[in-house]
Structure 1
Amino acid sequence: MPENSIDHIDFNELNKKAISQPLVTHMYTADPSAHVFNGKIYIYPSHDIDAGIPFNDNGDHFGMEDYHVFSMDSVCSKAVDNGLALHVDDVPWAEKQMWAPDATEKDGKYYLFFPARDYEGFFKIGVAISDSPTGPFTPQPQPIKGSYSIDPAIFKDDDGNYYLYFGGIWGGMLQKYRNNIFDTKNELPKPDETALMPLVAKLQDDLLEFSEEVKQVQIIDENGDLLLEGDNDRRFFEAAWMHKYNGKYYFSYSTGDTHFICYGIGDNPYGPFTYTGRILNPVVGWTSHHSICEVEGKWYLFYHDSSLSKGVTHLRSIKVAEITYNDDGTINTLDPYCESDSVVME
């Protein structure tokens, strides 16, 4: 049992202290990407299952096979399961591990962006299309050319351009790429070297391919220097997300092994983004993955934890909590259980 075991946690008491309760209880869901389409909330999570694989740093125990879309009339209403939206068996190029997805709308069509491992063991990002925000979605026969790694997040800017953010280290394989080229000899930078950065590319008008070469998203510190690999409390790990508030671009992400949701602020969708602070302190469970969505003039953080499964890392549940901004545009940090210092990670 690891030193930071969760055995001592009283989950009944922890759930009483939680700032929100699971939105879905009949299955395990994670990595919620939330959007408002036609006045209704739609959540695109991954669907956790017990794949029977022991925990490892490559994330093989996250053996998700399909997606369900959930809809809500308001943040206080019941989350409705709209059934199977897409299964890995329906994707010609994908073998397994349908990890965190996202979705968007354009001209009455809905586009689901999702990562999966292909039959050579590489993560790629695919696109599937539907006439309904709930699916079912029809996948394209091939992944997006030039895509790799995990955690796609689609952002529509005010000028109508769409950008796809993605990337994740360890199981997401980002550490094996340099300048968009894979090499098995590549590893994580040394602690005093620049950290690996997330990725972004503008999409073509049909949203099916990149319209430009994939670029790095730069996250810098207060002095304008790129964050270092050893800065584990601030550097990017996975779970990219973009939203816009008062004309500024907010790039948020997970720090992975230190379990924070952090953010930086920039002046354009490419960055650089100056590290600004934390949105969410650690939750129960190893991962932390989120989205941020405006609903009826208020802003909400959609996230997950493993409290419903009593700490089982790969069996998570999606939640929602309101976030608030200060006059200077900073976001007030949320403590997921009010007394978060008592929470340890598996």
Structure 2
Amino acid sequence: MKKQMVKRSAFAFMAVAALASGCQKAENNSETATQEQNNTSEKKYLSQPLVSDIYTADPSAHVFNGKIYIYPSHDIEAGTPENDNGDHFDMRDYHVFSMDSVGGKITDHGVALDIKDIPWAGRQLWAPDAAHKNGTYYLYFPVKDKQDIFRIGVATSTSPSGPFKPQPEPIPGSFSIDPAVFTDTDGTSYMYFGGIWGGQLQRWQTGKYDSTAAPEPSGNVAALTPKMAKLSSDMLTFDGPVKDVVLLDKEGKKIMADDHDKRFFEAAWVHKYNGKYYFSYSTGDTHFINYAIGDSPAGPFTYQGVLLNPVEGWTNHHSIAEFKGKWYLFYHDTQLSGKTHLRNIKMTELKHRSDGTIETINPML
């Protein structure tokens, strides 16, 4: 498993190198590789880290009370061995960050939720998201339970910066990772979620958890779909069944499992622009953030292209938010550490073309 991760990590690095002249080839010696990664004088990044005193990743951004609030993962050096299931991403708490203006000071509001305060949690607090309704702020988070199965929990606060108090149990019927909550203009909220490989989505194909399932389907069969569910009015449970989010190619056919440049891997996000719904996601081992467009928050969504090309590092995870009339992409890379599991969040402007498509963003210049 570790050998496979190293191979795929090398692929990701080469993909970035194709985008950025002057990127050096990774060396086997970890110390040398880290020095090369940190040698920013020979690399040109589209944007710089928003936070540099701790490692942050998977930024979910929202505008609350006229400010940008960012809810990222908090990467740490946990000493957990690296593998394809992502056990080395062994996060244990969340920090919340805010900005009054783009390019301005970013404030760290401290620990918003700690794994030790979640009664049902076992290990690995992965990428969270947040929402607001009726004066309450909600933090949605995936964490493995004490049986090592990913579930999705929710915590509440009267402040967008927390601290957040978790519910005593995970959301009934929830599973896998990467919750992303979208609230439509009619006030209805939906959660999108799922991630394959370490995210365990492939283990739920029969409707029950199967620890023996393959990492993902292969061959000329439909790819696994992300999931969605309508949220209840109190934002604490699902209001109805979990449904598939259908992704189609431009010919109207389902995206196939072997099409790793297009198939869903993890990191679902939804935003609405000019009456259309944009579903964006990571392709995982090919390292793209793609997007698809639909006429309904439930889809189907038709693939349009690449939103963000591969970043430095293995994972690619994002969010999209509008602030003062402009749209922004929030993402991460490994500029500060050169290690796949110690990442730093960034942001850059995102531009919709007149026909509704999105200009592809290159994270390396």
Q: Which category describes the TM-score, using the shorter chain as reference length?
A: over 0.9
**1:121-270 maps to which residues of 2 (within 5 A)?**
121-187=148-214, 188-270=216-298
**1:1-346 maps to which residues of 2 (within 5 A)?**
2=6, 4=10, 6-7=26-27, 9=36, 11-13=38-40, 16-187=43-214, 188-309=216-337, 311-338=338-365
C-alpha spacing 1:14/1:44, structure 2 compared with 1 (3 Å): farther
Post-superposition CA distance 1:75-105 (Å, at most 9, x none):
2112110011000000001111010000010
Which residue in the other structure is 1:342 paired with? none
Q: Count the aligned residue pairs.
A: 337
Separation in 2, partners of 1:322, 1:15: 24
Q: TM-score, normalised by structure 1?
A: 0.95
2:124, 2:143 within 8 Å by CA — same for their partners in 1? yes
Q: CA deviation at 1:246?
A: 0.5
Amino acid at match of 1:332: E
Amino acid at match of 2:237: E
Amino acid at match of 1:33: S
C-alpha spacing 1:15/1:213, structure 2 compared with 1 (3 Å): farther
Separation in 2, partners of 1:216, 1:179: 13
Gaps of at least 5 residues in structure 1 are 339-346
Greater alpha carbon shift after TM alignment, 121-130 vs 76-85: 76-85
Separation in 2, partners of 1:15, 1:106: 46
Separation in 1, partners of 2:284, 2:88: 16
Separation in 2, partners of 1:163, 1:328: 26
Say which structure is richer in helix: 2
Post-superposition CA distance 1:139-160 (Å, at most 9, x none):
0000000000000001000110
- SS in structure 1 opposite 2:159? coil
1:14, 1:337 within 8 Å by CA — same for their partners in 2? no
Separation in 2, partners of 1:12, 1:243: 36
1:67, 1:87 within 8 Å by CA — same for their partners in 2? yes
- SS in structure 2 opposite 1:176? helix
Separation in 1, partners of 2:241, 2:206: 10
- SS in structure 2 opposite 1:17? coil
- SS in structure 1 opposite 2:218? coil
Gaps of at least 5 residues in structure 2 are 11-24, 28-32
Amino acid at match of 2:272: K
> What is the identity percentage for the equivalent residue pairs of Structure 1 and Structure 2?
61
Amino acid at match of 1:245: Y
Q: TM-score, normalised by structure 2?
A: 0.90
Amino acid at match of 2:61: A
Amino acid at match of 1:256: G
2:37, 2:335 within 8 Å by CA — same for their partners in 1? no
- SS in structure 2 opposite 1:120? coil
Amino acid at match of 1:132: S
C-alpha spacing 1:217/1:301, structure 2 compared with 1 (3 Å): same
Separation in 2, partners of 1:179, 1:327: 42
